[in-house]
Structure 1
Amino acid sequence: MKDRAMRRALAVAALAAAGTLAGCANPAADEALVAQTALIGMPKETLLSCAGVPERQAAVDNREFFTYRSSRLVSYPSPPPLGYYGGGWGWPYHGYGYGGAGYGYEVSSYDCEATFSLRNGVVERVVYGGTSGGSARLGQCYAIVQNCVALIPQRTIKPTP
Structure 2
Amino acid sequence: MWTRSDLRADFDRVRVELSTGPAVLRDYTKSMKHHWHEAAFIPDLADSEAAWKVASRLRHLREDDFVGGFVLRRYERFTSVEARTWWVNGVCALVSAHPDTPNDVPPHNLDLDAVTPVIAALGLPLITVDFALRADGVWRIIEIGDGQVSDRPATTDPSTLITALLAGTI
**TM value normalised by structure 2:** 0.19
Between 1 and 2, higher relative CO (CA 8 Å, sep ≥ 6) is seen in 1
Task: Name the structure where strand makes up a greater proportion of residues.
Answer: 1
**TM value normalised by structure 1:** 0.20
Task: Name the structure where helix makes up a greater proportion of residues.
Answer: 1
